[in-house]
A = this chain, B = another copy of it.
């Protein structure tokens, strides 16, 4: 019997097209391509973290047509066959299922880890240890395994996992049963979760055998399974056409929340989904504020100043986010940074494709 690590494929989900980092993020340069990981893009940093444990031949990156070229340029070592471009975005269940069906055909008995491409993780070695333990657990139990992050604050912006009993301890890491997935909670519940030892942040990192996820999709999303079967039978352009008809549902909602055989490995390393401009300060550990690119400031400690070209000069604005590119400038208080979406929607209404 082969060890679980030798069968492990790492699937990196790089299809996002977030708008929360406008004007730096654009339709052709989403968040995962922004240089928020010490000069590296988040995508590159994600790949670099797992590269010591799997060869490039077993790294698969899934993206969308709009950014495929930029993704390929960012990862020149990636074999072309391992860059999968969704014909059209159909949310994560379709995406995961598509890859699983392909791996099932080409690599019988494979294990599959699914990782976001746009998160920041503090300790790469710890991530690799947890992935190895998760792979062993997924292999041994045939279960769906998720990595959950121990809450460090009562965050209302994330989903949570509620944990049940301990199932095993693998290489010093505890594997626990997941009782349920919990949607973004209100403040009071978030505080209870953060204080409990039985709740983790749902970080969107999964490991399972291809057989297990295929079984789970057939059970909980039979329509998706039928669509994937039809694609496998059709191939070529017809498969692409069929992809566009797959049900649009997330892997969390469509499978994980319904499955009964879900296990979790708690991880303790620093983790962030870098959800907004002010979130960058936390990620970068920058208490005196963020400075990226050509900036000059007077009395503006705490401000988030980001330039992708022009000099950004700020006076007396410690609570502000300023982001400048050659063709667009954003100014917003840190406390209102989530309104960038609203602004981008407005730009869309105004057909300002030149800056989107």
Contact = CB atoms under 8 A, between A and B. Distances in A.
Interface string A25-60: 000000000000000000000000000000000000
Given A316-B339, A333-B316, A310 B324 contact: yes
B310 A325 contact: yes
A75 interface: no
A317 B331 contact: yes
A314 B331 contact: yes
Contacts of A307: 329
Interface in A321-356: 322, 324-333, 336, 339-340, 342-343, 346-347, 350, 352, 355
Interface residues of A, number: 35
Name which of A320, A324, A331, A333 has the most chain B CB atoms within 10 A of its CB. Answer: A331
A121 B341 CA distance: 42
Contact of A343 (B315, B317, B347): B315
Contacts of A325: 310
A313 interface: yes
A140 interface: no
Contacts of A355: 311
A298 B329 contact: no
A313 B298 contact: no
A100 interface: no
Given A313-B329, A315-B340, A316-B339, 20 more contacts: A23-B311, A296-B343, A296-B346, A298-B342, A298-B346, A307-B329, A310-B325, A310-B326, A312-B331, A313-B347, A315-B330, A315-B331, A315-B336, A315-B342, A316-B332, A317-B320, A322-B331, A324-B324, A324-B329, A331-B331
